[in-house]
Amino acid sequence: MNDQPVSWLLIEKGWEVVGSDGEQVGKVEEVEGDQDIFSGLLISIGLLGKPRMVSADQVAEIDESGRVHLSINSDEAKRLEEYEPPAPA
Protein backbone atom coordinates (compact mmCIF):
# COMPACT_ATOMS: atom_id res chain seq x y z
CA MET A 1 0.00 0.00 0.00
CA ASN A 2 1.54 3.31 -1.08
CA ASP A 3 -1.00 5.54 0.61
CA GLN A 4 0.45 7.60 3.43
CA PRO A 5 -1.34 7.72 6.79
CA VAL A 6 -3.12 11.03 7.36
CA SER A 7 -4.71 12.95 10.21
CA TRP A 8 -8.27 12.22 11.33
CA LEU A 9 -9.01 15.88 10.56
CA LEU A 10 -8.97 15.04 6.83
CA ILE A 11 -11.66 12.33 7.02
CA GLU A 12 -14.77 13.29 5.08
CA LYS A 13 -18.31 11.97 4.81
CA GLY A 14 -18.45 9.19 2.26
CA TRP A 15 -14.95 7.78 2.87
CA GLU A 16 -14.79 4.00 2.69
CA VAL A 17 -14.49 2.07 5.97
CA VAL A 18 -12.66 -1.28 5.79
CA GLY A 19 -12.41 -4.00 8.44
CA SER A 20 -9.12 -5.60 9.52
CA ASP A 21 -10.02 -8.53 7.23
CA GLY A 22 -9.97 -6.22 4.18
CA GLU A 23 -13.76 -6.34 3.72
CA GLN A 24 -15.62 -3.09 3.13
CA VAL A 25 -17.80 -2.30 6.14
CA GLY A 26 -19.53 0.91 5.09
CA LYS A 27 -19.05 4.63 4.65
CA VAL A 28 -18.21 7.49 7.00
CA GLU A 29 -21.31 9.45 7.98
CA GLU A 30 -19.73 11.82 10.49
CA VAL A 31 -16.43 12.38 12.27
CA GLU A 32 -16.66 12.76 16.04
CA GLY A 33 -14.03 14.92 17.68
CA ASP A 34 -13.43 18.14 19.54
CA GLN A 35 -10.46 20.40 18.81
CA ASP A 36 -7.44 18.05 18.89
CA ILE A 37 -9.22 15.00 20.34
CA PHE A 38 -10.55 12.34 17.95
CA SER A 39 -13.33 10.31 19.57
CA GLY A 40 -14.47 8.19 16.63
CA LEU A 41 -16.65 7.89 13.55
CA LEU A 42 -20.29 7.35 12.76
CA ILE A 43 -20.48 4.87 9.89
CA SER A 44 -23.37 3.71 7.73
CA ILE A 45 -23.41 -0.04 7.17
CA GLY A 46 -26.25 -0.18 4.65
CA LEU A 47 -28.92 1.99 3.12
CA LEU A 48 -31.33 1.44 6.01
CA GLY A 49 -30.72 1.62 9.73
CA LYS A 50 -29.00 4.02 12.02
CA PRO A 51 -25.28 4.75 11.84
CA ARG A 52 -22.94 2.84 14.13
CA MET A 53 -20.28 4.38 16.33
CA VAL A 54 -16.68 3.30 15.81
CA SER A 55 -14.50 4.50 18.68
CA ALA A 56 -11.13 6.10 18.00
CA ASP A 57 -9.30 3.07 19.41
CA GLN A 58 -10.97 0.88 16.76
CA VAL A 59 -9.46 2.98 13.94
CA ALA A 60 -6.16 1.42 12.89
CA GLU A 61 -5.18 3.64 9.95
CA ILE A 62 -6.46 6.50 7.83
CA ASP A 63 -5.04 6.82 4.33
CA GLU A 64 -5.08 9.62 1.80
CA SER A 65 -7.02 7.58 -0.76
CA GLY A 66 -10.16 8.18 1.30
CA ARG A 67 -10.14 4.95 3.25
CA VAL A 68 -10.35 4.27 6.99
CA HIS A 69 -8.99 0.91 8.17
CA LEU A 70 -10.39 -0.54 11.39
CA SER A 71 -8.63 -2.70 13.97
CA ILE A 72 -11.76 -4.89 14.14
CA ASN A 73 -12.98 -7.17 11.35
CA SER A 74 -16.04 -6.51 9.21
CA ASP A 75 -18.29 -8.88 11.20
CA GLU A 76 -17.38 -7.15 14.47
CA ALA A 77 -17.99 -3.74 12.89
CA LYS A 78 -21.40 -4.78 11.61
CA ARG A 79 -22.34 -5.87 15.14
CA LEU A 80 -21.53 -2.47 16.70
CA GLU A 81 -24.46 -0.83 18.43
CA GLU A 82 -26.55 1.67 16.53
CA TYR A 83 -25.71 5.24 17.45
CA GLU A 84 -28.22 7.07 19.61
CA PRO A 85 -27.63 10.83 19.72
CA PRO A 86 -27.53 12.29 23.24
CA ALA A 87 -30.78 13.75 24.49
CA PRO A 88 -30.92 17.55 24.46
CA ALA A 89 -29.92 19.06 27.78
Rounded to whole angstroms, how far apart are CA atoms 34 and 89?
18
Domain covering 8-78, topology: SH3 type barrels. (2.30.30)
**pTM, full prediction:** 0.86
Rounded to whole angstroms, how far apart are CA atoms 26 and 51?
10
Residue pLDDT, tens place only, 38-89: 999 999 997 777 899 999 999 999 998 999 999 999 999 999 988 887 778 7
Q: Are strands 52-55 and 59-63 parallel, antiparallel or unpaired?
A: unpaired
Domain boundaries, the chain: 8-78
